[in-house]
């Protein structure tokens, strides 16, 4: 879509050009302090964030690319990758739909209990992931509330794909809803009301008015949701049962390899996960830029 | 009578927004709803448009009771205070919206919609803005787009909520004259909300003065300013 860009504000911190004056000296000192602070922050970032990432890749490639790729081609590695993708492919779309619905209710309507619901949506973020997994074991495990019934009907939830999906959905639920609620409140319902008075039905309003207005923010939420769904460890570890080649997702497989001293394998799979993180980061920056542009273009 | 409102009541919690309001609007009339903020003007407009529902009372348009008809079937054009243009659509798509969402059997062809949009934009004197987005045009132009969008579906009744509220004084004066002329030329029936008495007296055929959800007086601008019904009206018209 061809759209105008808002004028960029000139950088307030841009160095002041001009002939040297007595005041110049004090300015130099301030600049020096600022540079020092920035330097410290950058080195801390390098040690805490960049170094581990670099180490993962160097360890994975320490015996050469061939060996690393061989580790990824193992049937068990391949099964872990497939399982992770399957879990994300089920959990993320469901959360995208439910999260959008929840954000729509909270963002557009006033009703008793709205504040409570908003807090409740954040619950998975404040609960330890282990508990998020344990809940499902308590409900559907062999000794759980529905365990005996499920066993009689030969349905497996815990230690199988459904359990992994449930645990992942619970942990990643807030992402889409949270990225939409404030935006939808800010936008208000006026455009939807206008569409209604012009004769549009509910579905037409959603597809033609609501969805385009929240599209980029929703994609942002989906992106974060997906990154977490593929990277989740704690909740998934509880419901997985650790059956190699069957219920190990990529993060769990990394741990299993690591415990068996299979360094190259562990770091190769970890490197693959890190690449996902880097792609997520890049897409995230792109989306943030896009959302900011839309927001400043608000009418 | 074109629009008949009888004893409308509407409460938000304990507060009454409309408190037994009755009002008639004739065909082709340009009626101003005037009153301080919180007097129920906007609520009345939203009730007419079907965005709010009354607790009791009846509304009829052209003799047909509509208080239980959903908003999308009312055929009432509403121009919002801040226009509420669809921000991700071009001006032309905004105006076409009401025609494009019609069920297939009574939706005009794509070509007919295009012609109708061009005609409306021409009438609003913004014929060259069809390809722009709402954030690329001025406030006065947005106002005209909102009007064109509401008129595209040929509404039986046009409602305007503070149509000039967000505009500067000069644009406001020009639009006033233009809007009144447009109303007469198109044979519209219009109700517009304002808190500016000069605007109401200047444009309207009749002025209805509201206070706390009730009508204090309805009459021609001349009669209202010469013979105010009570102290409140006299104070407000000053």
Asked if residue A16 has pLDDT above 90, the reply is no
- Does B142 sit within 8 Å of A194, measured CB to CB? no
Nearest chain A residue (CA) to B52: A193
Report the CATH number at residue A143: 1.10.3720.10
Nearest chain B residue (CA) to A193: B51
Domain boundary among A5, A37, A60: A60
Residue A73 lies in a domain: yes
- Does A201 sit within 8 Å of B72, measured CB to CB? yes
| A127 and A263 together in one domain | yes
- Does B86 sit within 8 Å of A191, measured CB to CB? yes
Residue B22's pLDDT band, with cuts at 50, 70 and 90, is very high
Residue A130 lies in a domain: yes
| A44 and A145 together in one domain | no
Residue A98 lies in a domain: yes
Q: Which domain holds residue A207?
A: 65-298
Asked if residue A4 has pLDDT above 70, the reply is no
What is the structure's pLDDT at B12?
A: 83
Give the tens place of pLDDT for each residue, A242-255: 988 899 999 999 99
Residue A5 lies in a domain: no
| A174 and A255 together in one domain | yes
Q: Which residues pair with B157 in a beta bridge?
A: B76
Tell me if B147 sits within 8 A of B79, measured CB to CB. yes
> pTM, whole model, 2 decimals?
0.82
| A69 and A129 together in one domain | yes
Residue A4 lies in a domain: no
A/B interface, count of CB pairs below 8 Å: 82
Residue A165 lies in a domain: yes
Nearest to B30 by CA among B2, B9, B5: B2
Tell me which chain B residues have a C-beta less than 8 angstroms from the C-beta of A217: none
| A170 and A242 together in one domain | yes
Of B51, B73, B88, the CB nearest to A212: B88
B167 to chain A, minimum CA–CA distance in Å?
14
Tell me if B95 sits within 8 A of B145, measured CB to CB. yes
Nearest chain B residue (CA) to A299: B135
DSSP β-ladder status, B56-61 and B3-12: antiparallel
Give the tens place of pLDDT for each residue, A197-243: 999 999 999 999 999 999 999 999 999 999 999 999 999 999 998 98
| A69 and A53 together in one domain | no
| A72 and A56 together in one domain | no
| A41 and A116 together in one domain | no
Nearest to A183 by CA among A136, A221, A129, A132: A221
Asked if residue B1 has pLDDT above 80, the reply is no
Tell me if B180 sits within 8 A of B212, measured CB to CB. no
| A30 and A130 together in one domain | no
Residue A1 lies in a domain: no
| A158 and A179 together in one domain | yes
Nearest to A84 by CA among A284, A243, A228: A228
Tell me if A156 sits within 8 A of A162, measured CB to CB. yes
Residue A2 lies in a domain: no
Whole-number Cα distances in Å, A79 to A243, A249, B35 = 11, 8, 71
What is the structure's pLDDT at A110?
A: 84
- Does A213 sit within 8 Å of B88, measured CB to CB? yes
Tell me which chain B residues have a C-beta less than 8 angstroms from the C-beta of A4: 135-136
Tell me if A200 sits within 8 A of A159, measured CB to CB. no
Nearest chain B residue (CA) to A189: B84
What is the structure's pLDDT at A222?
A: 96
Count structural domains, chain A.
Answer: 2
Residue B207 phi/psi, 5° resolution?
-120, 130
Of A3, A190, A208, the CB nearest to B82: A190
Q: What is the mean pLDDT of residues B152-180?
A: 87
Token pair listed for A160: 């199988």
Give the tens place of pLDDT for each residue, A257-276: 999 999 999 999 999 999 99
Q: Please state the three-class secondary structure of chain B as a single string.
A: CCEEEEEEEEEECCEEEEEEEEEEECCCCEEEEECCCCCCHHHHHHHHHCCCCCCEEEEEECCEECCCCCHHHCCEEEECCCCCCCCCCCHHHHHHHHHHCCCHHHCCCHHHHHHHHHHHHHHCCCCCCCCCCHHHCCHHHHHHHHHHHHHCCCCCEEEEECCCCCCCHHHHHHHHHHHHHHHHHHCCCEEEEECCHHHHHHHCCEEEEEECCEEEEEECHHHHHHCCCCHHHHHHHC
Write down the mean pLDDT value for chain A: 88
- Does B82 sit within 8 Å of A201, measured CB to CB? no
Q: What is the mean pLDDT of residues B162-170?
A: 81
What is the structure's pLDDT at B204?
A: 94
Of A198, A212, A297, the CB nearest to B98: A198
| A89 and A218 together in one domain | yes
Counting residues of chain B whose pLDDT is more than 70, the rounded percentage is: 100
Give the tens place of pLDDT for each residue, A116-171: 999 999 999 999 999 999 999 999 988 888 988 998 998 889 999 999 999 999 99
Tell me which chain A residues have a C-beta less than 8 angstroms from the C-beta of B162: none
Q: What is the mean pLDDT of residues B11-18?
A: 83
Domain boundary among A60, A93, A110: A60
Long-range Cβ pairs for the range A65-74 (8 Å, 24+) = A67/A264, A68/A264, A68/A267, A68/A268, A68/A271, A69/A268, A71/A262, A71/A264, A71/A265, A71/A268, A71/A269, A72/A268, A72/A269, A72/A272, A74/A265
Domain boundary among A9, A41, A60: A60
Whole-number Cα distances in Å, A174 to A170, A219, A277, B19, B52 = 8, 14, 19, 43, 32
Write down the mean pLDDT value for chain B: 92
| A42 and A78 together in one domain | no
């Amino acid at each position: 879509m061809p759209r105008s860009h808002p004028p960029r504000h000139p950088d307030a911190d841009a160095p002041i050009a001009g002939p040297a004056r007595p005041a110049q000296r004090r300015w130099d000192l301030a600049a020096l302090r600022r540079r020092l602070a920035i330097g410290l922050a950058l080195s801390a970032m390098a040690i805490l964030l960049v170094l581990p990432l670099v180490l993962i890749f160097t360890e994975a490639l320490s015996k050469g690319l061939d060996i690393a790729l061989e580790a990824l081609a193992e049937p068990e590695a391949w099964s872990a990758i497939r399982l992770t993708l399957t879990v994300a492919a089920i959990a993320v779309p469901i959360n995208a739909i439910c999260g959008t619905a929840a954000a729509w209710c909270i963002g557009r309507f006033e009703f008793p209990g709205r504040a409570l619901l908003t807090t409740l949506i954040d619950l998975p973020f404040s609960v330890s992931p282990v508990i998020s997994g344990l809940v499902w074991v308590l409900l559907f495990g062999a000794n759980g509330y529905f365990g005996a019934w499920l066993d009689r009907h030969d349905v497996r939830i815990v230690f199988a794909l459904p359990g992994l999906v449930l645990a992942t959905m619970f942990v990643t639920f807030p992402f889409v809803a949270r990225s939409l609620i404030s935006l939808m409140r800010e936008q208000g319902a006026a455009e939807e009301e206008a569409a209604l008075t012009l004769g549009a039905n509910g579905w037409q309003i959603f597809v033609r008015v609501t969805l385009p207005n929240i599209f980029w923010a929703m994609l942002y939420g989906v992106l974060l949701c997906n990154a977490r769904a593929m990277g989740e460890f704690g909740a998934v570890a509880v419901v997985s049962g650790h059956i190699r080649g069957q219920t190990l997702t990529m993060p769990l497989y990394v741990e299993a390899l690591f415990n068996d001293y299979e360094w190259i394998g562990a770091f190769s799979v970890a490197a693959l996960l890190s690449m996902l993180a880097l792609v997520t980061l890049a897409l995230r920056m792109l989306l943030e830029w896009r959302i900011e542009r839309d927001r400043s273009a608000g009418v | 009578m074109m629009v008949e409102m009888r004893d409308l009541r509407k409460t938000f919690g304990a507060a009454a927004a409309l408190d037994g309001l009755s009002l008639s609007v004739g065909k082709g009339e340009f009626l101003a709803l005037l009153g301080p903020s919180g007097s129920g003007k906007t609520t009345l407009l939203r009730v007419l448009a079907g965005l709010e529902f009354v607790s009791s009372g009846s509304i009829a348009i052209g003799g047909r009771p509509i208080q239980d008809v959903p908003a999308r079937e009312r055929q009432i054009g509403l121009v919002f205070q801040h226009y509420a243009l669809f921000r991700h659509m071009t001006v032309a798509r905004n105006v076409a919206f009401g025609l494009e969402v019609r069920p297939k059997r009574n939706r005009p062809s794509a070509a007919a919609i295009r012609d109708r949009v061009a005609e409306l934009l021409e009438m609003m004197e913004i014929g060259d803005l069809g390809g722009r987005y709402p954030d690329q045009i001025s406030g006065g132009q947005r106002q005209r787009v909102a009007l064109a969008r509401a008129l595209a579906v040929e509404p039986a009744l046009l409602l305007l909520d503070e149509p000039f509220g967000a505009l500067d004084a000069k644009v406001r004066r020009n639009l006033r004259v233009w809007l009144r002329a447009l109303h007469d030329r198109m044979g519209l029936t219009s109700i517009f909300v304002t808190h500016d008495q000069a605007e109401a007296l200047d444009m309207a055929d009749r002025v209805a003065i509201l206070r706390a959800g009730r009508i204090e007086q309805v009459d021609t601008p001349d009669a209202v300013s010469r013979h105010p019904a009570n102290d409140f009206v006299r104070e407000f018209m000053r």
